[in-house]
Structure 1
Amino acid sequence: MTNPDGISIKDILFKVGSATFLTILVVMLGFMLLKSDVEQAGIDMLFGKGNITMGSIDDQSVPIDSFHAAKRFCIQMYQGQGSEALWADCAFQTLKGQYIFRKIGNSVGFTITEESEKQALMQEAEKVSKNSLQGAGYSEEDLKKPIEIYRQFLQQAPLRFRIDYKVSQSLFQNFLPTEIRRTDGELNILSEASGARVDLDAVLYTEEDLVKASERNLEPTDAQLKELYDKESLDPNTLKGKDGKAIPFEERKTVLRSKFLLEARKNSLETLKAKLVALQNEPDGLQKISTLLGRQTVSLKNKSLSDLKKISVGKDVFSLSSDKKFLQDLSLPGLTQKKNIGPYREGEKYAIVSFSGVKLGNPDPSFLRTRDSGSILTAILMEIPQSLEESIKVERASVRSVSEE
């Protein structure tokens, strides 16, 4: 059979098939010529994965491969214990910490280029391949080639994650290499603090608790929906029915509810945070905060400062001393006269505290022999990211937990 131009259907099918084959061949050749880490990105783009992110840190997107690398790091750190939510929180905090150290590294001129990291990774892959050949008795045909091991390394953790991890480690090992000695006065204060005992009550809560509490009473009443419906009816651009008349209220109810909740959620979280601040100034504010957030009050009696590094409430663990403001507040006069102070923060967790007693210990002369500089340097290095952390915004994708494929 031929068409009016004299070209047979067979010829048309042959040309279409040839063009398709050539297209596939060109695409495959392109990937063969690409560098291996770019190749994976190209494949991701073909399958719609190239732009998948888990949120942003300081308005910079968090790629899903970096998130999963951080999550694997956290699972190893927690030895497989915990939940998906815990590992996700830890992953975001890990990536946030790496981002902060990247900024610190850039500011002091300490950086690692992608090219140098690629070379180091390829050298490691060649070393692994060579050692496998020597140690396991594999033939060269059965052994993974260095380029395959290199690609496997990148699947486990992308270049950006590896570079940021190395920068953060190097800053801790090499940054501020100087001798710092405590004075006698500082050692006396440290001695008193080591023997200090505190009594306090606290409410511990998470970012998720805030979101749940802010959305708890958002469900609109029929009266509120009717008010929104009447307001829409006055707008000439409001959607009309097929007959040109306004769509009945009952038919619009579902849409109206969605619009109401969308607008309400925008303001409810900020309103809740403002309410928490107001409750902190009330005599029984801590109990009201506990009720509002659905969290029990924790009471601690005669605890040392080191005990406050790990407060356990069920499966949750909180460290008050991880927030620099807590230690600063401890030194303020009249601390026990303050109603409720905080909130203190550790990652995605918070604590509001009410002190009922603070007693300092007696100076211990043996402390004058302790002049370790290493711990001071560590404290300085931890102070820098904590100071930057408050100004860095973290936004998560709407899906709070994404399983690895």
Structure 2
Amino acid sequence: MTNTEGTSFKDIFFKVGSALFLGVLVLMLIFTLLRSDVEQAGMDMLTGKANIKAGKIGGKDVPMDSFNAGRRYCYQIYQGQIPDNQLGECAFMILKGMFVANTIANSLGYTVSEELIRQNLWEEAQKRVKLSYRGAGYSDDEIEKPDQVYRQFLKEAPMRFRIEAAVQGSIQANLLQSDLRKTDDELLVQSEASTARVDLNALVYTEEDLTKLANQNVEPTDLQLRELYQKEITDSNAPKGKDGKIATFEERKSILRGKFLIEARKSAIENLKAKIKALQSEPDGLHKVAALFGTGTVTIRDKAFADLKSVASSKGNFSLLTDKRFFQDLTSQAFGQKKSLGPYKDADKYALVEFVAVRFGKPETSTVLRIRDSSVILNGFLAEIPQSVAEEMTVERLAKSAEE
């Protein structure tokens, strides 16, 4: 049997205290031997910080440590030139950009490994130590060790933040190395386009020409002005003179004329545009519209598409390539129908075009054309995709500031 009578309260207290002390020592030893990022994660779990969120981006939580890393990054790039109360906004802007890039990367199966991040940090730590103390005359004990710098790097930002930042910085460059090749159909279209020659007839006019023609017969008659005046005085809010009486027709005549001309000119321009559109559909409609304006047409013969960038006319040079509808009509409309299309706009000028004929030379199937200019095409895609994705992502901020 065990003898408990000889065990005093003092002995029990001593044994319990010793056990607690040894437990604390073991925990301290564990945290000392752990990698710094694992150590920080453990401390966050013990203190409850791991559950603190700074907000949401695209409906997903933003951890506080990522938010703090973003703030620290903003402080470094702006060298303290922006107020502290704006660091939070900057951090969310940085995090949203990373979130957008990683959303795209995830859909493509692209990522950056943690091992690569650690390798780069270790190399950076070695480089910093080498540059900091080269020839400074410090003893070995005074020189900061690479592993110390490496552990400090790991404390500055969580690993997931570093991975997402690395993905954002490398996805475009890596995708731009893709070797995209054109299909046979694409090559055929490009070859035909490069050898094509067109014959066109065009009519170039300006907004001023349109206004002058529309305003030729809009001057109101006295009868029309009196009709306006009668409508005006029947209104309970009819304008009155200084004596409180309704103004006379002669007093209102110039104002009524101005009001009439505004509406008449607007209506005349719309009617003129409708008339031009109707004439375009008629055979030889281009010359009928030219007669309406009292001007001649421009003859364009045996020109490559690139030559249509500058067409000489009595109204000055005109570019048919500015208006994308020109290419749409060029590829969809039949040539030789003697009907004009447009108007195509270039600055303050307009052009109606009759598609007369098109000819194609011998297709060129050079292997040089086989390789697509991947950097230009993918750069265009990657410039548009993040903007579209970002527009769909909302930012909900729960923290205005965070401890560094």
Give the TM-score of the pair, scaled to structure 2: 0.47
Larger Rg: 2
Give the TM-score of the pair, scaled to structure 1: 0.47
